[in-house]
Homo-oligomer: A and B are copies of this chain.
């Protein structure tokens, strides 16, 4: 089996950022590609009755500590952008529109946006900030600005989010390997084992 593994994430998810820095290498070790699939967790939370992790008493404080600790362990730069949590609609639309032009550039754009937010601590919550980040990284294709308000691009994103929810995706990061779901940055190791053993 050499199907790509599905990597679902929200651009405003700090654990998604940590996973995004590792997922391509993890998959490549097992001869797999990665289908990057940004989603909007807000739409998912409407289904599960959840709310952003950082807003939950006790859990939010713990998560801030845990994120910093995980980033230190992985030797990755980490900080929270302001504002946080933020709306990631513009980032998602930029991704899918770019993906339809050039899938490789879309993945590079996703990584650049994540680093802008959680390594540099800069906002990526507006069309303007997404365009600036894409331009700085040399990844802003002609027509991107118009695409962010295009009806077809909006519809495409809604479709992707609906499809993710229909597949049972409810968090970020969320990885699916040959139909087997793994939720959370802390499941990367199990995903690695699953690829190695072909399940257990």
Residues of chain B contacted by A30 (CB below 8 angstroms): none
Residues of chain B contacted by A58 (CB below 8 angstroms): 44, 47-48, 168, 170
Q: Does A42 sit at the interface, judged by CB under 8 A?
A: no
Residues of chain B contacted by A181 (CB below 8 angstroms): 62, 65
Residues of chain B contacted by A54 (CB below 8 angstroms): none
Is chain A's interface secondary structure helix, strand, loop, or mixed overall? helix
Interfacial residues of chain A within 62-80, with CB under 8 A of chain B in the complex: 62, 65-66, 69-70, 72-73
Interfacial residues of chain A within 132-156, with CB under 8 A of chain B in the complex: none
**CA of A170 to CA of B58, assembled, Å:** 7
Partner of A57, one of B49, B56, B73, B186: B49
Contact B73 A168 (CB under 8 A): no
Q: Does A29 sit at the interface, judged by CB under 8 A?
A: no
Interfacial residues of chain A within 167-200, with CB under 8 A of chain B in the complex: 168, 170-171, 181, 183-184, 186-187, 189-190, 193, 200
- The 6 listed contacts between A and B (C-beta, < 8 Å) are A44-B58, A50-B56, A58-B170, A59-B171, A69-B190, A73-B193
Chain A positions within 8 Å of B, measured between CB atoms, are: 44, 47-50, 56-59, 61-62, 65-66, 69-70, 72-73, 168, 170-171, 181, 183-184, 186-187, 189-190, 193, 200
